[in-house]
Amino acid sequence: MVELAPSYERFAYAYDRIMYNVDYHRWADYIQKIFRHHSESPTSILDVACGTGALTFILSELGYQMTGVDLAEGMLEIARQKSIDLGIVAAFKPGDMRNFDLGEQFDTVICTYDSINYMRDEDEFASACRQASIHLKPDGIFIFDVTTERNIARHFHGQTFAENHEDYAYIWQNIYSKRDQICRTTLTFFIQENNLFRRFEELHVQRIFDNGLIKKILQRCGYDVIGMYDMYTFNRPGRFSDRVNFVARKT
């Protein structure tokens, strides 16, 4: 019988190795460009859906006071161990972006790598935006990105990715439904335990949201949308955008 694990719990084991091609330094540089572009000088940053802390640590080394929150305890365990190994001070706390409460506020909240696409409908998306607002100081900014239908349809729909390593293997299968704008990803892992490999599966579900709808949700949640950009630029997103970055100010 295959064990169905919560999203990112078993993925955590090999997440950093599987995602070796993600350029987190470029992402951190872009976030700093956003700060300069909008005349922001934040000190404290909350990284929502921080995962194993790859971006969190880079921003910490750049001088920001970093706190990370994530739903997957498996990812947080690795982040905390990396914090010890790297000698970098950053707090990592458990929380669901729809309802977490850390009891403190930050200059900036970020949510990167299309993590907010895991909100399955408009209500969940709004809940995530409200929780970000609760954790923002007055006039603080919320920075997040969403993947686009073009990106999913061109690079993931119907695609299967697989790798085999000494201590783990995985199969990554993707199906996108244009009718309900949902991408369903099945991840099958084989992870070594002693002399055997144990099989696990995770189901990841992401929803595509129209840019106009996102702007309306942000405005209803008390934000001014001060930027909507094609990723890594300050250009307006268009039909060929694979990722769109939003910058919203708490009002």
For 167-191, the DSSP string reads: SEEEEEEEEEETTTTEEEEEEEEEE
Q: Which of 187, 12, 218, 205 is nearest to 109 (CA)?
A: 218
CATH 3.40.50.150 in the chain, residue ranges: 22-149+209-250
Q: Which of 47, 46, 57, 44 is nearest to 16 (CA)?
A: 57
Report the CATH architecture of 22-149+209-250.
3-Layer(aba) Sandwich (3.40)
On whether the 151-206 domain is CATH 2.20.25.110, my answer is: yes
Quick: pLDDT tens for 144-163.
Answer: 999 999 999 999 999 999 99
CATH 2.20.25.110 in the chain, residue ranges: 151-206
- Are 75 and 98 spatial neighbours (Cβ–Cβ below 8 Å)? no
Quick: pLDDT tens for 71-112.
Answer: 999 999 999 999 999 999 999 999 999 999 999 999 999 999
Quick: pLDDT tens for 32-58.
Answer: 999 999 999 999 999 999 999 999 999
Q: How many CB atoms lie within 10 A of CB 141?
A: 25
